[in-house]
Amino acid sequence: MLLSTPSQIIENLTTGVVAVDRELVVCVVNPAAEMVFDSSAKQMIGQSVARFWADIEPLLRETLRSGHSFTRRGARLPLLGRDAHVDLTVTALMGAAGHGVDGLALEIHVVDRLRRLAHDEEIVDHHQAQRLVVQGLAHEIKNPLGGLRGAAQLLERQLGAGEREYTRVIIREADRLQALVDRLSGPTRPTRKTAVNIHQVFEHVRSLLLAEVGPGIRLQRDYDPSLPEIAADPDQLVQAVLNLVRNSVQAMRGAGTIRLRSRIERQFTIGQRRHRQVLRAEVEDDGPGVPPSLRETLFYPMVTGRADGTGLGLSIAQDIVRRHDGLIEYQSQPGRTVFTLFLPFEVKT
């Protein structure tokens, strides 16, 4: 026997369901549809569906007239700042006999997200393979570099004051290379997780940055104070967020606004695992955006758009977040770039 009522079933579907009346006014919205439209049922019910999805209005009017249900694959759904692609089925809801169509039911299934998931897995695997190569290389360089520096120091003692200039160059360059090799290795100590509030991490990064940047850069906060703590290594998270915020500062060249935002995201899949809720921590800036030539390979080590960049910041940040079973994604266009950290609340058992 089925224990749930039809409305409970609709509530728990992963497909977005919206019902509209003959005037295309929204009467029913399930939680999955709230996520698709990034609006609450309260905001949507009583409003015309055209307010949330203007392009679809003519098609819906046509369905009301004809009574013919239809399915459209890959329909474009413009949402704030990005386009989603959805599979849409519209069913005409027939009224009492002879009264024609009473309203419409829209079933909306976001396909972007499915595509994105498959793509993510590939990118993360590729990225981790690359990091292993880079870490291996860094390790190989480390030992001979130590020998080189030690030998230069010994040599320095045997040389007269006028000749030390050369050994100094060797030592200075060896130190520079050592710093690079250390960054290439990424965080070397094991991740030590404790209960961390993401806002402590944000505030720490903010205080570090305020000391570095000029008055042209504003650092705003938009926090959800009700967020639970996560199990994380606070120092590593500070490192990851700092890398993102520093990139924003560098991209904005002295003037602009950075927003640190925290939210809960429900029903989110990372890798193979679906989480009931995850933390969404965002770093948003109004700079020029990520150069289009870097977009596909952005998280790979040594990918940089800056003359003095090493291209390691994002690779290290992604590595740290992966150690926390999370994921970093980004969206970018001129005037709005958002890097988003997704981190699970539940501790892995």
Ligand X SMILES: Nc1ncnc2c1ncn2[C@@H]1O[C@H](COP(=O)(O)OP(=O)(O)OP(=O)(O)O)[C@@H](O)[C@H]1O
Residues of span 29-68 touching Mg ion by CB under 5 A: none
For residues 57, 58, 64, 67, the Cα torsion angle rounded to the nearest 10 degrees is -120
Residues 247, 248, 332, 337: which binds Mg ion (CB under 5 A)?
247
CB of 316 to ligand X, least distance (A): 8
Residues 303, 327, 341, 343: which binds ligand X (CB under 6 A)?
303
Give the C-alpha separation, 326 to 271, whole Å.
9
Q: Does 310 bind ligand X (CB under 6 A)?
A: yes
Residues 289, 322, 323, 345: which binds ligand X (CB under 6 A)?
289
Q: Does 45 bind ligand X (CB under 6 A)?
A: no
CB of 294 to ligand X, least distance (A): 5
Which residue lies nearer to ligand X by CB, 39 or 315? 315
Give the C-alpha separation, 42 to 44, whole Å.
6
- At a CB cut-off of 8 Å and minimum separation 6, what does 304 contact? 310, 311
DSSP-derived 3-state class of residue 278: strand
Which residue lies nearer to ligand X by CB, 44 or 252? 252
What 8-state DSSP symbol labels residue 48?
B
CB of 170 to ligand X, least distance (A): 25
Contact 90, 60 (CB under 8 A): yes
Instruction: Give the binding range for ligand X (CB under 6 A) out of 162-170, 195-203, 259-267, 311-319.
Output: 311-319
Instruction: Give the binding range for ligand X (CB under 6 A) out of 106-114, 156-164, 223-231, 309-317.
Output: 309-317
Which residue lies nearer to ligand X by CB, 277 or 304? 304
Specify the amino acid at residue 267.
Q
CB of 248 to ligand X, least distance (A): 4
Which residue lies nearer to Mg ion by CB, 227 or 242? 242
Q: Does 298 bind ligand X (CB under 6 A)?
A: yes
Which residue lies nearer to ligand X by CB, 92 or 252? 252
Nearest of 87, 55, 51, 53 to residue 70 by alpha carbon? 87
Percentages helix, strand, coil for the chain (3-state, rounded to 5) are 45, 30, 25
Give the C-alpha separation, 244 to 196, whole Å.
19
Which residue lies nearer to ligand X by CB, 187 or 289? 289
Give the C-alpha separation, 52 to 26, whole Å.
10
Instruction: Give the binding range for Mg ion (CB under 5 A) out of 54-62, 179-187, 270-278, 307-315.
Output: 307-315
Nearest of 273, 264, 270 to residue 322 by alpha carbon? 270
For residues 168, 174, 175, 176, the Cα torsion angle rounded to the nearest 10 degrees is 110
What 8-state DSSP symbol labels residue 310?
-
Residues 313, 321, 332, 343: which binds Mg ion (CB under 5 A)?
313
Which residue lies nearer to ligand X by CB, 22 or 183? 183
Instruction: Give the binding range for Mg ion (CB under 5 A) out of 1-9, 17-25, 206-214, 313-321.
Output: 313-321
| Residue 146 interacting partner from Mg ion, ligand X, none (CB closer than 5 to 8 Å by kind) | none
What 8-state DSSP symbol labels residue 96?
S
Write each residue from 214 to 253 as x if it is in contact with ligand X (CB under 6 A), else as -, in one continuous string.
-----------------------------x---xx--x--
Dihedral class, residue 186 (left if φ above 0, else alpha if ψ from -120 to 50, else beta): left
Give the C-alpha separation, 319 to 327, whole Å.
9
**Token pair for residue 340?**
């988003």
- Please give the residue ranges that form the binding site for Mg ion (CB under 5 A): 247, 313
- Please give the residue ranges that form the binding site for ligand X (CB under 6 A): 243, 247-248, 251, 285, 287, 289-291, 294, 298, 303-306, 309-315, 337
